[in-house]
Structure 1
Amino acid sequence: MKNLYLTSVGIIFLCILIWLQAEPDLLNNSTLMQWRSPLIQITGIISTLLLTLVMILALRLPQIERLTAGLDKSYRLHKWLGIYAVVFGAIHWLLAIVPKQLVRYGVMERGAKPNLTIDPDSFYATIHSLRGGAESLGEWTLYLFIALILIALFAPIKYQRFKFIHKLMAITFLFIAYHSLVLLKHAYWDDIITPIVIGTVVIGVFSALFSLFGLIGKRQQYQGTVTSIQYDEQNKTTLIDIDAPKWPGHTSGQFAFLTLAGEEPHPFTITAAGGSKGNTQRNRTSVQFLVKALGDFTSTIHQRLEIGKKVTVEGPYGHFNFNDNKPQIWVAGGIGCAAFKARLAELKQLDRPEPILFYYCTENPSPQLIRDLESATYGTNVEFHVVDNRLHDFLTIGDIKRHNGDILHSSVWFCGPTTFSTAIQQQLRDEHFDMQHFHTELFDFR
């Protein structure tokens, strides 16, 4: 994730460097009013650039997922870029409004207006006449966008309203795009920053329309039929098998969105190994989910489903692929064991000499699930441990070191609750562990 943020910062700095070419006299400015105009421009450009990146990241495109090493990381970056876009938008607004008010109350002197001669027959004359409306539209759109961001981040709303809010965000981006193009400084028209801004806005508009027309994820959606449902009363989990004839295949550690008729899509880890695209093995079209009862939907999914029911599966997504040549340490918290269950099935077909330590941590141990995981380790180089949190404290890195003293030369693969992940990561940092070898999925998409 760190590399993704550094790349985003690099894109912003590159944009600023290009913009500076259009402001050769910037450092000669001596008053706030002289600095105000260029700063309004660059904060607006950066905000629009960030919003375009936000729109692109929301499209669930396979190419973008590969660049970000997983859809979960795409959405985390999407979230934070959206927040920073609003921050720059707010600074842009403050630069536009506050100096005007200071001049109005006599605190500051109005700066000299540039002597701009406009050819009445030029295209810019038409654009210039729209500036007043574009300014007002941008101001009110910013208010709306901030409100939508706050609701999306903090309000306890269901997916349908969450989805509606994001549709509104796409609409507000169209207004922001109009505001950005109309109010782009005329002095920039002969510089490279102008086609860059126009190109950015056009890409953002296409991304917004892609979202508004409901095309996100459409190419990754496959119709399937429920073939098996097994509910574990003790562990409150439901094992679901789905046959999706056109499913392209998946690898262990990936996840998919499952949609029932009349319900919103929910992401679940795929728990059974499956063939890669182009593979003809029998189970390639089979998709299996192990669903833990954690909310209204997951608690009743075994009652809503029945054999032969049609569902939609969208995916596969994720890059939790166990792809390294190090001794591995697996830590599963509760239903996080699903990703490792699929990998255990793959290991029997692979020649992997490196040892693996597998810790399954649970407050509701199911004898059947434990037997299934334990039997799946037979014939592999996996050492399996169950941590019953009713009897023992939560697993720590100290516990792991007692089994594997050479933790610094291992990779750690984690799937479980966020608080558990945070604790494990902090303990690893205390051990001076190279966090590039810590791998996890970020299932919090809000």
Structure 2
Amino acid sequence: MNPIGLILIAATVLVPAYQLFSLPGITDQAALFSQYLGLAALILMAWSQMLSTRLPGIEHLFGGLDRVYILHKWTGIVAMGAVLMHDTIGAEMRGLGRETALNDFAESLGEISLYGLLLLVLISVATFIPYHLWKWSHKAMGALFAVGALHFFLITKPFAMTDPAGLYTGSFCVAGIVAYLWMLLPHRLRPSYRYKIAKLETTGGALAITLAPKGKGIRPLPGQFGVLRFTGAGINEPHPFSFSKIDYDGTVCVTVKALGDFTSTLDKVLRIGQRVRVEGPFGKFRYAGKGPEVWIAGGIGITPFLVWAENLKAESEPVDLFYCIKSRTVAPHLSEIEKLAACRPNLTLHIVASGEGQRISAEMISNAVGPGLSRAKVSFCGPRSLQEALKKGLKHYGVENRQFQNEEFEFRSGIGIKRLIKWLGGRYLRFRNRNRRARPSPSPENMT
């Protein structure tokens, strides 16, 4: 995550605090704080809408698009928390004038926005809900944000819309609504490249889709991905896929593993010649090439490394690639990566097959790489659970967080409730055990 983007969002959220608390003659500080929470929520929701646009500049400002998606999710969640606090504390102030029908209408809009957004945020972070419902919740969330913005414009406030606080937050509301309307445009009106399916083939239980450009083709760098929208057969939902092959004429390949509702249907509905819209390229998952490297792929996470390996130069520093698979029969692009390793002396391939009783670990990586591991850059693409385990384990071998880069494999994720409960439980147990050790044992003279 680019810290500049995080600082920018934090700064924009703090500006209304200065604007409100410098207002003269306000005695009800609790209501004023509630007013601030409402403004902060609107700004965060506007940012959430703008982050979802995938417009040029968003990725450079906030980091790779995978990080932007995470930031999009958390700005929405934090905004929802601010809205709940705003409603709980109460923002009504004495002396702002009598109640009017317009003010009652604005309050009703606020209630609609609050409860609607609460429901949609719950749907959004519940990963067991089908994708089509999740997608609908995201579209409806923008509409409820617009309702909340209208509430802000109409409600009685301790400042006028022409005052700095009104103009500032109102500008964010307008920007967020424009971003929402942009995402409602038909996909053909948004920047994209036109492709058609040139080849479909199965590789290790995955589907490799070769796309040929119809006109100017996309020019991704190794490790980047595109957002694909297939046309026809009711599967026009946009989905991100890493490029597993990039040709100079604009031809690209993506490899899809059946991991969810959408990807499980592709092998049944895709046809040669079918049209595809490709947005991008996106992603900051890059091969540095400035020292020894360790690449770790979990299953379908091999796709970016396949392109990296194809572009590996003879003079590049040594690379150890660990390919974690269930078995060789279900390993996508196994033969291609073995051929690339065979003709590149600086690429060493390590196959880790769980079906053969093998398990990747930090110790295994250390034994294979040797003393140079502590100065190597580690790149990972695979399941989050494996990523967290290896990142933690490699610290014992001198690999710091700044040396570890990863592609976010699961774009749609929850909010980590299970991990939070586990962490809190662990902290409680350590606290209890520490207190037990500190408590003195009863002495004989104190016993009766």
TM-score by structure 2 length? Answer: 0.82
Superposed displacement of residue 56, structure 1: 0.2
Q: Measure the CA separation in 2 of the matches of 1:193 and 1:38.
A: 13
Question: Does 2:82 match 1:114?
Answer: no
Question: Does 2:365 match 1:412?
Answer: no
CA contact (8 A) 2:12 2:43 kept: no
Q: Measure the CA separation in 2 of the matches of 1:392 and 1:269.
A: 29
* Secondary structure of residue in 2 paired with 1:272: strand
1:192 aligned to which of 161, 164, 168: 164
Q: Measure the CA separation in 2 of the matches of 1:346 and 1:297.
A: 31
Deviations along 1:102-157, one digit per CA (max 9) or x if unpaired, are xxxxxxxxx8x3276x9xxxxxxxx9762221112101210011001101211633
Q: Measure the CA separation in 2 of the matches of 1:351 and 1:131.
A: 71
Q: Measure the CA separation in 1 of the matches of 2:58 and 2:325.
A: 34
Q: Measure the CA separation in 2 of the matches of 1:164 and 1:368.
A: 32
Q: Measure the CA separation in 2 of the matches of 1:293 and 1:309.
A: 20
Which residue pairs with 1:123 in the alignment?
A: none
Which residue pairs with 1:289 in the alignment?
A: 254
Residues 9, 176 of structure 1: alpha-carbon distance in 2 compared, 3 angstrom cutoff: same
* Secondary structure of residue in 1 paired with 2:324: strand
Superposed displacement of residue 325, structure 1: 1.8
* Secondary structure of residue in 2 paired with 1:62: coil
* Secondary structure of residue in 1 paired with 2:279: strand
Which residue pairs with 1:230 in the alignment?
A: 201
Which residue pairs with 2:23 in the alignment?
A: 23
TM-score by structure 1 length? Answer: 0.82
Tell me the amino acid that sits aligned with residue 355 of structure 2.
R
Deviations along 1:31-67, one digit per CA (max 9) or x if unpaired, are xxx2232112100010001000000001111210121
Residues 12, 231 of structure 1: alpha-carbon distance in 2 compared, 3 angstrom cutoff: same
Residues 368, 130 of structure 1: alpha-carbon distance in 2 compared, 3 angstrom cutoff: closer
Tell me the amino acid that sits aligned with residue 245 of structure 2.
A
Question: Does 2:209 match 1:240?
Answer: yes
Q: Measure the CA separation in 1 of the matches of 2:61 and 2:191.
A: 18
Residues 288, 179 of structure 1: alpha-carbon distance in 2 compared, 3 angstrom cutoff: same
Runs of at least 5 residues in structure 1 that lack an aligned partner in the other structure = 101-110, 119-126, 275-282
Residues 339, 36 of structure 1: alpha-carbon distance in 2 compared, 3 angstrom cutoff: same
Computed over aligned residues only, the root mean square deviation of the Cα atoms, in angstroms, reads 2.7
* Secondary structure of residue in 2 paired with 1:342: helix
Runs of at least 5 residues in structure 2 that lack an aligned partner in the other structure = 413-448
Q: Measure the CA separation in 2 of the matches of 1:15 and 1:429.
A: 41
* Secondary structure of residue in 2 paired with 1:132: helix
* Secondary structure of residue in 2 paired with 1:179: helix
Which residue pairs with 2:61 in the alignment?
A: 67
2:121 aligned to which of 134, 142, 149: 149
CA contact (8 A) 1:40 1:95 kept: yes
Deviations along 1:390-440, one digit per CA (max 9) or x if unpaired, are 224421122111123232322111001111112112223455633122211
* Secondary structure of residue in 2 paired with 1:130: helix
Question: Does 2:31 match 1:37?
Answer: yes
Q: Measure the CA separation in 1 of the matches of 2:345 and 2:51.
A: 38
Residues 293, 364 of structure 1: alpha-carbon distance in 2 compared, 3 angstrom cutoff: farther
Superposed displacement of residue 211, structure 1: 2.3
Which residue pairs with 2:432 in the alignment?
A: none
1:249 aligned to which of 219, 232, 244: 219
Tell me the amino acid that sits aligned with residue 384 of structure 1.
L
